[in-house]
């Protein structure tokens, strides 16, 4: 089981982040960091909260342009056992009186 990643631990000034959903039947489900070995520059950070099938991966910003240009996201989506790949964006939660 992976360590859960807290949003406050992410640095959007230095990295882009991907959330990747893995099928429970996937070879990567038990060892999600091995998926990062398939993509140069990508690092597995941990699972998203208590969701054991959703994991966060990081790519340094200085490598992101090449990552996008070489269609790495589409390549990740084509890997057996990868259900979904989403680029994460920081959001500001509204205050209670702003809801």
**Domain-located, residue 66:** yes
**Domain-located, residue 97:** no
Cα-to-chain-centroid distance, residue 10: 11
pLDDT in tens, 15-57: 999 999 999 999 999 999 999 998 888 999 999 888 899 999 9
95 pLDDT band, cuts 50/70/90, is confident
User: Residue 53: which of 32, 33, 67 has the closest Cα?
Assistant: 32
pLDDT in tens, 2-20: 677 666 678 888 999 999 9
**CATH at residue 12:** 3.30.70.920
DSSP state of 98: G
**Domain-located, residue 96:** no
Confidence check: pLDDT of 99 > 70: no
94 pLDDT band, cuts 50/70/90, is confident
Average pLDDT over residues 63-87: 92
**Domain-located, residue 98:** no
Number of domains in the chain: 1
By residue range, what is the domain housing residue 74?
4-90
């Amino acid at each position: 089981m992976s360590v859960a990643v807290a949003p406050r631990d992410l640095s959007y000034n230095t990295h882009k982040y991907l959330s990747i959903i893995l099928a429970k039947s996937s070879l990567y489900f038990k060892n999600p960091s091995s998926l990062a070995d398939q993509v140069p520059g990508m690092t597995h950070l941990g699972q998203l909260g208590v969701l054991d099938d959703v994991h966060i991966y990081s790519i340094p910003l200085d490598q992101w342009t090449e990552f996008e240009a070489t269609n790495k996201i589409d390549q990740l989506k084509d890997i057996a056992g990868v259900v979904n790949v989403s680029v994460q964006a920081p959001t500001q939660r509204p205050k209670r009186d702003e809801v």
